[in-house]
Structure 1
Amino acid sequence: MASVQDFIPQPYTGTAESGSFTWSAPSNIALVKYWGKKASQIPANPSISLTLNNCKTVTTLVFEKKEDNGAFSFDLLFEGQPKESFRPKTEKFFERIREYLPFLSQYHFSIDTSNTFPHSSGIASSASGMAALAVNLMSLERQLNPDMTQEHFDQKASFLARLGSGSACRSVKGNVVIWGEHAETPGSTNLYGVEYTPVADMFTTYQDTILLVDKGEKQVSSTLGHDLMHGHPFAERRFAQAHENLTAIKQALATGDVETFIKITESEALTLHAMMMTSNPYFILMKPNTLQIINKIWEFRAETGVPVCFTLDAGANVHVLYPEANKAEVLQFIANDLAVFCQNGQYIEDQVGSGAAVVA
């Protein structure tokens, strides 16, 4: 297991005057949720997520050596157009990772980003965006350090992504990723995400249809929500519950136990929102249509026996999870009974993917 010190590089032996890289990195959806964090983007409890395949960010990093080594120098574009609103977050990210990538102030960067999912669709892009930027920067470091191993590349990319957005560390590698120290998971760490294996074949092709209930900006930021776990009356029990649920869902994923998978996944989704509703100040991110969808899913599962379930992120949208073998009937159910509860009838079809990838 790597430590923080392992990510502070020795003097570089390679050179790179100019060039470019393009990577894609997907979003992910947590099954066991992390809610609450400590300093330096350290999670208060471990989490486990499914890596998505279609909802991803594609980022091109163009770099050129500059004369001075002072301030950071970068241009930001979104879909080819200047996007100055991204500057404060990028500047903050660079400050956080300067110690681990000392070359940052030696280059001028042009960072051009686009998402494969619709803008303002309610899909969090911070995880995919920061993961995509992190693997691009690691590609440059690998040019400066030609002896870098693939394992180090993956671990450090996840480590850096975490410093930009906590859940981004789960978007670098693997179908299923664990982030956070967990006594029953050897190699687990708070510093970066680790791929969980073995996973039953059915879960490597699991489907996730994302129902867009509300495409507006969240009323409460995730950062504020995490902060409200400090002093939360149910925090300690919640953190313990996450450890217990992670142990159980790991076993379910390994053995193909769909019944346990459904039970824990739905309970975790509702627990996340229960923590929001019982914090001080309290808030509700679910919408009436979110509840309508949940009840419809429960009714459909009871009537048909089809193993479809839901999870929620910190918002109103619903992720409908189900085996690939049931894809046709579940999509028919969504079109007939659930799309009416989506904003403009919109939803996104996705499935489990494998993480960040170089774009040719």
Structure 2
Amino acid sequence: MTHTDDFLPSGSPNVLETGKVGYSAPSNIALVKYWGKTSGQLPANPSISFTLQHCQTRTWLEFHKQALGTVSFDLFFEGKPKDSFRPKIQTFLERILPYQPFLNDYHLAIHTENTFPHSSGIASSASGMAALSACLMALEQQLYPDVNEAYFRTKASFLARLGSGSACRSLYGNPVVWGRHADVPGSSDLFGVTLPFELHPVFKNYQDTILLVDKGEKTVSSTAGHNLMHGHPYAERRFQQAHENLSELLKALETGDLDKFIAITESEALTLHAMMMTSMPYFILMKPNTLAILDRIWSFRRETGIPVCFTLDAGANVHVLYPENVRKAVLQLITGELVAYCEKGQYICDEVGDGMKPL
């Protein structure tokens, strides 16, 4: 079993005065949802996600050696200083200092941009923290050349979790499990892992079209929502249910059972929002247009037999999931009907992807 101490650097680092590294990392969408966490950004239940391909954050990290003795950084989003991002990055860098103490010896210039509009309503914390963590590991690898690829990726996932829990699932290709689970050897609450079996071909090029129902700021942050699972009347049963659903979904992903995949994925999406609606205080992040889309997807599936389904994140937007071989028919549904429920008719076509990449 891996422990946090396994991520402490050992030995003397190389002398490195200045440099620049860059990585991209994608967003991801959970199929079995993580909702509720314990101290140290650890999940209350395991989750599994599809890594996306096109919705990415690209980050470049410039570093200059300075005897500062404290975290020092400048942050630029799409070429301009972004003060509103600073508190979260400050907290993240301070949180990972025990695992990368050399950060106190460098001034960092972080340049980041998204391939999707920041105000689109797609969460960028997962892709952003994953890309930054990969850059920080690239710096560590220059200081400690013995860092191999497996350790690089695992520690990048470990670090990313300390910035945004779901970010630990954005470092790998599909699918990624985060959280200890009896059916996934090597699974851990500390970082994400890939599946222990070959994914069925039907899922290897799965499509995800994201319908942008509401691009506004969420009324309740994910952090606040997670905290409301403490003392939630249905929390313990929900955590148990996530383990059960993950076991069943793993079977579906291995065998290509689309009916089981659809049933579990949609149930998980609705359960996530049921937890929000039954917390205290309670809240609803879905919008009327969200429900209209879900209803139309159900009726379309009944009418045509086409295996299209939905999932939701902690917001109003709808992820429409379907195999590539029915792409034409599903896009006709989206462009012909569902865009009417999207803010300004906007949607993003994506598909499953490969995780982080060097720039």
Fold match by TM threshold 0.5? yes
Q: SS where residue 24 of structure 1 aligns?
A: strand
Deviations along 1:172-221, one digit per CA (max 9) or x if unpaired, are: 01210000011121111000000113211221100000000000000000
Structure 1 residue 75: deviation in Å?
0.6
1:9 is aligned to 9
Alignment partners' CA distance in 1, 2:84 and 2:315: 22
Q: SS where residue 120 of structure 1 aligns?
A: helix
Alignment partners' CA distance in 1, 2:316 and 2:207: 19
Residue pairs, 1:45-60, within 5 angstroms: 45-60=45-60
Q: Which amino acid aligns with 2:173?
A: G
Residue pairs, 1:1-360, within 5 angstroms: 1-66=1-66, 68-196=67-195, 197-359=197-359
Q: TM-score, normalised by structure 1?
A: 0.98
Moved more, 81-90 or 344-353: 81-90
Count of aligned pairs between the two proteins: 358
Alignment partners' CA distance in 2, 1:277 and 1:13: 50
On the 8 A contact 2:51/2:354 being kept in 1, the answer is: yes
Structure 2 runs not aligned, ≥5 long: none
Q: Which amino acid aligns with 1:154?
A: R
Identical aligned residues as a percent: 65
Deviations along 1:308-340, one digit per CA (max 9) or x if unpaired, are: 000000000000000001111111110001000
Q: Which amino acid aligns with 2:118?
A: H
Q: Which amino acid aligns with 1:73?
A: S
Alignment partners' CA distance in 1, 2:11 and 2:20: 22
Alignment partners' CA distance in 2, 1:324 and 1:14: 47
Structure 1 residue 119: deviation in Å?
2.0
Structure 1 residue 69: deviation in Å?
3.2
Q: SS where residue 25 of structure 1 aligns?
A: strand
Q: SS where residue 284 of structure 1 aligns?
A: coil
Structure 1 residue 167: deviation in Å?
0.2
Structure 1 residue 71: deviation in Å?
1.9
Q: SS where residue 60 of structure 2 aligns?
A: strand
Q: Which amino acid aligns with 1:54?
A: H
Q: Which amino acid aligns with 1:77?
A: F
Structure 1 residue 13: deviation in Å?
3.8
Q: Which amino acid aligns with 2:178?
A: W
Alignment partners' CA distance in 2, 1:177 and 1:318: 20
Q: TM-score, normalised by structure 2?
A: 0.99
Q: Which amino acid aligns with 2:228?
A: L
Structure 1 residue 48: deviation in Å?
0.2
Q: SS where residue 49 of structure 2 aligns?
A: strand
Q: SS where residue 40 of structure 1 aligns?
A: coil
On the 8 A contact 2:118/2:124 being kept in 1, the answer is: no
Alignment partners' CA distance in 1, 2:29 and 2:12: 36
Moved more, 292-301 or 1-10: 1-10
On the 8 A contact 1:15/1:143 being kept in 2, the answer is: no
